[in-house]
Amino acid sequence: MSLDLGQVAHTVTKALDYVGVDDKSHGRRVGLMCHRVAHILGWNRELRHFMLIAGMLHDCGVSSTTSHQKLVDELEWFGADGHCVRGADFLQGFAPFAQYAQTCRHHHTRWQSLPDSMAPLERQFTNLVFLMDRFDVVLAVYGTSHQPHDVFRARDELVETLRPHSGTLFSPALFEAMREAIRKDSFFIELEEEFLDQAIFETLSFWDHSTILAFDDIMALGEMISQIVDAKSHFTHYHSLRVADLVYALGGLLGLDPDRRLALRLTGLLHDIGKLRTPDEILEKPGALLPKERDLMLRHPLDSKLVLASLFPGTPIAKWASQHHEKLNGSGYPFGWTAERIDTETRILTMCDIFQALCQIRPYRGRLPVDDVVAIMQTMVTAGELDPSIFRVIVANRHELYKIAIREGMMAA
Q: Catalytic residues, which ones?
A: 275
CA 133, CA 165: separation in Å to the nearest integer?
Answer: 14
Describe the chain by its helix, strand, coil percentages, rounded to 5.
Answer: 65, 5, 30
Cβ–Cβ under 8 Å, residues 151 and 189: no
* Listed residue (238, 245, 181, 189) closest to 401, CA to CA: 245
How far is 10 from 31, CA to CA, in rounded Å? 9
User: Which distant-in-sequence residues (6+ apart) come within 8 Å of 14 by Cβ?
Assistant: 24, 27, 28, 307, 310
3-class secondary-structure state, position 371? helix
* Cβ neighbours of residue 330 closer than 8 Å, sequence gap 6 or more: 336, 337, 338
State how far the Cα of 15 lies from the Cα of 325, in Å rounded to an integer.
20
Cβ atoms < 10 Å from Cβ of 18: 22
Reference 254, options 114, 384, 132, 397; nearest CA is 397
Where helices occur in 117-212 by DSSP H, the ranges are: 120-143, 151-160, 172-181, 185-189, 193-204
Neighbours of 203 (CB within 10 A): 20
How many CB atoms sit inside 10 A of residue 368's CB? 18
The answer to whether residues 123 and 103 touch, using CB atoms and an 8 Å cutoff, is: no
Distance CA 300, CA 315 (A): 20
Those residues whose C-beta lies under 8 Å from the C-beta of residue 177, and which sit 6 or more positions away, are 37, 40, 41
Judge contact between 114 and 173, C-beta under 8 A.
Answer: no
